[in-house]
Chains A and B, each alone.
Chain A
Amino acid sequence: DIVMTQSPRSLSVTLGQPASISCRSSQSLVHKNGNTYLIWFHQRPGQSPRRLIYQVSNRDSGVPDRFSGSGSVTDFTLRISRVEAEDVGIYYCMQGTYLTTFGQGTRLEI
């Protein structure tokens, strides 16, 4: 099974400052079709998860452009250019190349 490892596990950021979360997979996430199925989610307390980014770097509709995803093969990063109060919560990466596996999550606080 593919293991997804996120770091850091928690992050304290000042409003307006950038934030970055790393996600590493135990093997390449490049599918035989050439796509890389790496997704980022955000979950606020008491709410369902919300997808932010799919296929490494594509923002979902309605996601602010301060969120960006990058990376390739086994190393991926979610960046928030200027953290806002509504960004608190837990961020998860997830691979969908070989079945589905979530990272352990990264808690972001202000």
Chain B
Amino acid sequence: QAQLLQSGAEVKKPGASVRVSCKASGYNFMTYFMYWVRQAPGQGLEWVGWINPQSGGTKLAQKFQGRVTLTRDTSITTGYMDFNNLRPDDTAMYYCSRDLGDWGQGTLVTVSS
């Protein structure tokens, strides 16, 4: 049974950076892309990007290019989303997902002065 365990909620000031982690277990970490999706309060789902754990290759939605970096540490089967220069409208629940089939519990990132 695949499980994805995300890091805890974060509160950041505008302009700050945040790292969200996603610890994967119960499946071959190298075999499935890890997706990152966010959901602003009361809003719909928005694709942030994905990482291929095998190669480390990534693809980001255009609006996040330059502010988001996706990485992984295969030795501990964990993916990371680094988000810099945060703005208040980046306040959202951030989800990681194993190929969109299994999802983490979400990490709430609040950006407020």
Asked if B61 and A49 make an inter-chain contact with CB atoms under 8 angstroms apart, the answer reads: no
Of residues 9 through 33 on chain A, the ones whose CB sits less than 8 Å from some CB of chain B are: none
Which of B45, B50, B105 has a CB less than 8 Å from the CB of A92? Answer: B45
A101 at the binding interface (Cβ < 8 Å): yes
Which residues of A lie under 8 Å from residue B46 when comparing CB positions?
102
What CA separation (Å) do A1 and B95 show in the bound complex?
Answer: 22
Asked if B45 and A49 make an inter-chain contact with CB atoms under 8 angstroms apart, the answer reads: yes
Which residues of B lie under 8 Å from residue A60 when comparing CB positions?
101
B29 at the binding interface (Cβ < 8 Å): no
| From A48, A99, A103, residue with most partner B Cβ within 10 Å | A48
Which residues of B lie under 8 Å from residue A59 when comparing CB positions?
none
Asked if B47 and A48 make an inter-chain contact with CB atoms under 8 angstroms apart, the answer reads: no
Chain B, Cβ-Cβ closest to A37: B100
Interface string of A70-110 (1 = CB under 8 A from B): 00000000000000000000101010100111111100000
Nearest CB of chain B from residue A42's CB, rounded to whole Å: 12
For chain B, the count of residues having a C-beta within 8 Å of the partner chain is 17
Which residues of B lie under 8 Å from residue A56 when comparing CB positions?
none
Asked if B59 and A105 make an inter-chain contact with CB atoms under 8 angstroms apart, the answer reads: no
What CA separation (Å) do A105 and B47 show in the bound complex?
Answer: 14
B53 at the binding interface (Cβ < 8 Å): no
What CA separation (Å) do A54 and B78 show in the bound complex?
Answer: 25
* A–B Cβ pairs within 8 angstroms, 30 of them: A1-B62, A39-B100, A41-B100, A48-B95, A48-B103, A48-B104, A48-B105, A48-B106, A49-B37, A49-B45, A49-B103, A50-B103, A51-B101, A90-B44, A94-B45, A94-B47, A99-B47, A99-B59, A99-B61, A100-B47, A100-B50, A100-B61, A102-B37, A102-B44, A102-B46, A102-B47, A103-B44, A104-B44, A105-B44, A105-B45
Chain B residues in contact with chain A, CB under 8 A?
35, 37, 44-47, 50, 59, 61-62, 95, 100-101, 103-106
